[in-house]
């Protein structure tokens, strides 16, 4: 495997970030960093009324993610491997979808200051899925506060993720189509993913488990 000390799994809600992060951390005997989602007291209200609660929800997430990332920066990334189920930059992706223009300006000033010292991942594994697949997975995991997530919101979020990874190209990225993948139950999918990570040479590359296509 390339010298990857800090690997991040990213993607929209319900795509399978945490499950794959746990699996990779176990396989690599790595430290695991998981996002604190359910601790956000505004989240259930946000999904019922996005306009009214977006700013509070976003600021709470940003400060929590910043606290976790600063703890991460204290670890010795030269001797310890870290697998995380989010990156700090995801906060801005969500903010771009959820905040009004004025709110986003204020948010950007705060996040710009906080983000200066955040560790950057050696590789981001960006998981993609269709809106139908995302909704099925969200329903299957049974988080009550996610019951009000609409298909249109998932579509906007997916577009924002694609825009970030394919336009900004700020991180070495492996884009993985997960519509027909099951890394936990199908060993060939997981082993194929590990091979794609091994063969990643920088920039943005893709891996499609169902067809075994890399490029």
Distance CA 37, CA 173 (A): 24
Q: At 1, list the tokens.
A: 């495997």
Q: Which residues pair with 208 in a beta bridge?
A: 213
Distance CA 108, CA 55 (A): 12
Q: Are 44 and 165 in contact (CB under 8 A)?
A: no
Chain centre to alpha carbon of residue 22: 13
CB atoms within 10 A of CB 170: 13
**Catalytic annotation present for 85:** yes
Going by C-alpha positions, the residue among 147, 19, 168 that lies closest to residue 89 is: 168
| Catalytic residue (one of 49, 76, 85, 179) | 85
**Which amino acids are annotated catalytic?**
85
């Amino acid at each position: 495997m390339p010298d990857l000390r800090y690997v991040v799994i990213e993607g929209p809600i319900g795509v399978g970030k945490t499950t794959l992060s746990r699996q990779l951390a176990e396989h690599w005997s790595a430290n695991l960093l998981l996002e604190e989602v359910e601790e956000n007291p505004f989240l259930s209200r946000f999904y019922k009324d996005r306009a009214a609660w977006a700013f509070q929800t976003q600021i709470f997430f940003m400060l929590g993610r910043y606290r976790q990332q600063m703890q991460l920066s204290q670890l010795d990334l030269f001797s310890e491997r870290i697998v995380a189920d989010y990156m700090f930059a995801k906060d801005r992706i969500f903010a771009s979808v959820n905040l009004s223009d004025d709110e986003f300006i204020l948010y950007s000033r705060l996040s710009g200051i906080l983000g200066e010292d955040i560790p950057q991942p050696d590789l981001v594994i960006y998981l993609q899925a269709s809106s139908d697949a995302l909704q099925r997975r969200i329903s299957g995991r049974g988080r009550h506060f996610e019951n009000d997530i609409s298909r249109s919101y998932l579509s906007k979020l997916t577009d924002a993720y694609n825009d970030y990874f394919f336009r900004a190209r700020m991180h070495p990225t492996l884009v993985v189509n997960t519509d027909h993948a099951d890394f936990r139950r199908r060993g060939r999918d997981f082993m194929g993913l590990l091979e794609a990570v091994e063969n990643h040479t920088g920039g943005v590359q893709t891996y499609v488990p169902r067809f075994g296509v890399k490029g």
